């Protein structure tokens, strides 16, 4: 056999060792001067004691640090503008809270106060609340006769007739034997006492609750405000001047304490110079006011 040169065997072993196939199984003895690398020293071969395993629970690992929060998002332009805008000082809030009060006082100062009712028509409108439950708020009628649309003027062409009936009421007319009150020739037929409910007495002498001044005022309201009498017409101008105007002499007399029953003695005269008075209820039907 041909002998393999030593240098080829050594190269083969180095190659196998490099590949992890071990070297030295093939090729016989190691070349002179070559030593096998020493194996790693172990406690078993060196005779030293192996280090003892740690006793007890394993050491606790420190928790990982939390990640840093992301940087805040920048404010939108409109929010940044609001934050940079000048704020209302605290002392101004008290002044602003009083603005509604100042506005209320300002409006009240500019508002014209309601006019106080004066004169026969003004007072009569207030007194009429005692009559509206029967005759209607606008004189349209109900349990009592209507006043609106000239109805009251058909029944009482002259104010004296109406004053007398309001003052004494149905009972006094029946007691006096007077069946028809007002105009006996009334359009649509005369009105008889008690034919349409009972008219209570309102005058003091008949046990009523109104003063003579209030009776005149409410009758003026019923005739000129609700009934539609025209105070500038030829038919009603003189009556209005004598009884229902703010300067009417009969109303001025009643304001000073006079009475309807004593008007004939008050020296008040109409345009013809005749004394203004209320005709008492007689034993025969009343045919209307005396001509004046």
Which pairs from 138-144 meet CB under 8 Å and 24+ separation? Answer: 138/226, 139/222, 139/226, 139/227, 143/197, 144/196, 144/197, 144/199
Q: Report in angstroms the alpha-carbon separations of 139 from 43, 63, 222.
A: 132, 97, 8
Instruction: Name the residue with higher pLDDT: 260 or 52.
Output: 260
pLDDT over 90, % of the chain: 40
Residue 47: band (very low, low, confident or very high) from pLDDT cuts 50, 70, 90:
low
Give pLDDT, residue 52: 57
Question: Do 165 and 199 touch, CB atoms closer than 8 A?
Answer: yes
pTM of structure: 0.60
Give the model confidence (pLDDT) of 7-44 as tens digits. Answer: 777 877 887 777 776 655 444 444 444 444 444 444 44
Measured distance CA(235)–CA(81) in Å, rounded: 80
Give pLDDT, residue 54: 57
Give pLDDT, residue 73: 82
Instruction: Name the residue with higher pLDDT: 218 or 272.
Output: 218
Q: Report in angstroms the alpha-carbon separations of 50 from 46, 57, 104, 225.
A: 10, 21, 101, 130
Measured distance CA(94)–CA(5) in Å, rounded: 115
Give pLDDT, residue 155: 94
Residue 109: band (very low, low, confident or very high) from pLDDT cuts 50, 70, 90:
confident
Distance of CA 25 to the CA centre of its chain: 114
Place of tokens 């708020």: 137
Mean of the pLDDT values across residues 235-249?
A: 94
The residue ranges of every structural domain in the chain are 119-265
State which CATH number among 1.20.120, 1.20.1050, 1.10.760, 1.20.1070 fits the domain covering 119-265: 1.10.760
Give pLDDT, residue 168: 92
Question: Do 116 and 207 touch, CB atoms closer than 8 A?
Answer: no
Give the model confidence (pLDDT) of 180-224 as tens digits. Answer: 888 988 999 999 999 998 999 999 888 999 999 999 999 999 999
């Amino acid at each position: 056999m041909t002998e393999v040169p030593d240098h080829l065997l050594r190269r083969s072993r180095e190659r196998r060792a490099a590949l992890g196939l071990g070297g030295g199984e093939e090729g016989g003895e190691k070349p002179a001067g070559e030593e096998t690398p020493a194996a790693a020293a172990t406690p078993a071969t060196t005779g030293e004691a192996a280090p003892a395993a740690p006793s007890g629970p394993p050491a606790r690992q420190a928790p990982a640090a939390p990640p840093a929060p992301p940087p805040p998002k920048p404010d939108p332009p409109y929010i940044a503008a609001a934050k940079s805008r000048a704020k209302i000082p605290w002392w101004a809030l008290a002044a602003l809270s009083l603005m509604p009060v100042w506005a209320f006082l300002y409006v009240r100062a500019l508002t014209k106060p309601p006019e106080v009712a004066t004169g026969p028509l003004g007072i009569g409108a207030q007194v009429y609340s005692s009559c509206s439950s029967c005759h209607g708020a606008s004189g349209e009628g109900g349990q009592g006769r209507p006043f609106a649309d000239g109805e009251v003027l058909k029944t009482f062409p002259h104010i004296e007739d109406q004053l007398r009936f309001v003052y004494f009421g149905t009972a006094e007319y029946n007691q006096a034997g007077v069946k028809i009150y007002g105009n006996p020739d009334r359009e649509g037929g005369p009105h008889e006492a008690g034919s349409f409910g009972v008219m209570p007495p309102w005058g003091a002498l008949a046990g009523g609750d109104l003063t003579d001044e209030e009776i005149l005022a409410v009758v003026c309201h019923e005739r000129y405000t609700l009934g539609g009498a025209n105070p500038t017409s030829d038919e009603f101008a003189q009556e209005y001047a004598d009884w229902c105007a703010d300067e009417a002499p009969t109303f001025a007399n009643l304001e000073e304490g006079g009475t309807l029953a004593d008007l004939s003695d008050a020296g008040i005269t109409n345009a013809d110079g005749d004394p203004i008075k209320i005709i008492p209820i007689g034993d025969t039907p009343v045919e209307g006011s005396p001509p004046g």
